[in-house]
Amino acid sequence: MNVNFCSLSSGSSGNCYYLGNEFHGILIDAGISATSIRKFLKDMDITMQTIMGVLITHNHIDHIRGLEILTRKNSIPAFTTHKIWESILTPQRKISRDCIREIPLQQKFHLAGFDIEAFPVCHDAPETVGFHICSGEKKITIATDLGHICQTAAPYIKEANLLVIESNYDEQMLVNGSYPHYLKARIQSDHGHLGNHQTSVFLADIINDSLSHICLAHLSKNNNTPEKALQTLHRTFSERGINLNGQQIISILNRHIPSEIIRLVE
């Protein structure tokens, strides 16, 4: 079955991704308002009735901003681990109890025609996961908030045909920028975010012919630009003698505008 992927929004102001087949779809994170999610999906002729669930990576607001309304108004089930639910379910947050679904780490579950596995990543939230999602032979990995690529996460990332991976900050922009020292240290730490250089070096190590699409995601508003992220990737690849030869399609996901639909054909 063919699979369509679209980033509705990606960055430190809000993250939400759509993955669908010809019958159903799922969302990964709900970090923008439910109104925006509905509108962006409608623009693609996708109705909320076809959305079978939303997978949640962690409790930071740029990943759960629209979750209350999605569960209360649209009754969309939300899937994440016990520990992440504990961190999300504060008395102030009115998540519909009927929509809470707990999933174990590193165990496949089935939803909307996809086999899905949550894997742990290192980030400064009570727990944070990436998702490895399979449809037939096609494998999609989404890893957007991680300070480094740990040994547990790496195999899920290496297997992807479509990889959505963080390229959060340009190292020079962050160091020279106006953020206070503690915040710079937090972002650069092993539990913060991936910088352009870090991501590029990792990609240069794992690049292979079955990795057909690379989406650089979760770019910082203040410490990065799409041009810098792309330049760093190309420079690192060229330093390593890697010639892309048109085998891989590389996209930079926009912070506020939905991406083109990426179609993986079986």
Q: What share of the chain is helix, strand, coil (3-state, %, to 5)?
A: 30, 25, 45
Span near Zn ion by CB under 5 A; candidates 3-11, 86-94, 144-152, 222-230: 144-152
Q: Of the candidates 26, 27, 51, 62, which one interacts with Zn ion according to CB under 5 A?
A: 62
Tell me the C-alpha to C-alpha distance, in Å, between residue 75 and each of 24, 47, 97: 15, 13, 10
Span near Zn ion by CB under 5 A; candidates 89-97, 143-151, 163-171, 225-233: 143-151
Determine if 145 is a binding residue for Zn ion (CB under 5 A).
Answer: yes
Q: How far apart are CA 173 and CA 46, in angstroms?
A: 38
Span near Zn ion by CB under 5 A; candidates 41-49, 57-65, 88-96, 164-172: 57-65
CA dihedral 67, 70, 73, 78 (to 10 degrees): -90
Tell me, residue by residue from 218 to 257, as one string, x for binding to Zn ion by CB under 5 A and - for no binding. ----------------------------------------
What is the smallest separation between the CB atom of 266 and Zn ion, expressed in angstroms?
31
Q: How far apart are CA 82 and CA 103, in angstroms?
A: 7
Site for Zn ion in 36-55 (CB under 5 A): none
Of 62 and 170, nearer to Zn ion (C-beta) is 62
Nearest to residue 229, comparing CAs of 195, 186, 191? 195
Helix (H) or strand (E) holding 51: strand 51-55
Of 46 and 153, nearer to Zn ion (C-beta) is 153
Chain contacts with Zn ion (rule: CB under 5 A):
60, 62, 145
